[in-house]
Amino acid sequence: MKVRTLELSVGVLMLAGIAALLVLAVKVSGLTFAASEPTYKVYARFDNIGGLTSRSKVTIAGVPIGRVTSIQLDPKDFRAKVEMQINQSVNYLSTDSSAMILTSGLLGEKYIGIQVGADDTMLKDGDIIEYTQSALVLEDLIGKFLSSQTKK
């Protein structure tokens, strides 16, 4: 009987460990099982997305307001075209708002931060955010620093 109890408790602990790993994987991946809020699409073009991925957060003042849904290369101007789904409750993004690719922490995840403008007209479904700032790429900064040091 003791062996049976021991085997049963080990089995329960293994199942709890597997369940904990699944919950951790879902949290890290950014997937949610909650019912999503209605959204609208907004686009932005960047010279360099520097590691931004689909399902990255879109924030205003650090508060999540949406997600990146797709990233494509625009064949006309060779820039990255980023499609974002913004929650419909955030209906106050003006047409002169700006989008920046930011990093969470020193080596953290990339996300889009939006600065709301002061224009009276608001972005609608399918509009493009014209004012963008590309990602800060560490390799480019190191290259610029090293090239400036060799010129001295």
Per-residue b/e over 18-42, b at no fewer than 16 CB within 10 Å? eeeeeeeeeeeeeeeeeeeeebbbb
Residue 149 amino acid letter = Q
Structure tokens at 132: 């963008």
pLDDT score for 25: 80
d(CA 141, CA 37): 39
Which residue blocks in the chain are alpha helix, DSSP H?
Answer: 2-29, 138-150
Task: For 94-109, write each residue's pLDDT tens digit.
Answer: 899 999 998 887 667 8
Instruction: State whether residue 146 is helix, strand or coil.
Output: helix
pLDDT over 80 (residue 27) = no
Contact status, residue 129 vs residue 110, Cβ threshold 8 Å:
no
Residue 80 amino acid letter = A
More confident residue, 74 or 137: 74
Non-local (6+) Cβ contacts of 81 within 8 A are 43, 44, 45, 71, 72, 73, 74
pLDDT score for 19: 92
Residue 151 amino acid letter = K
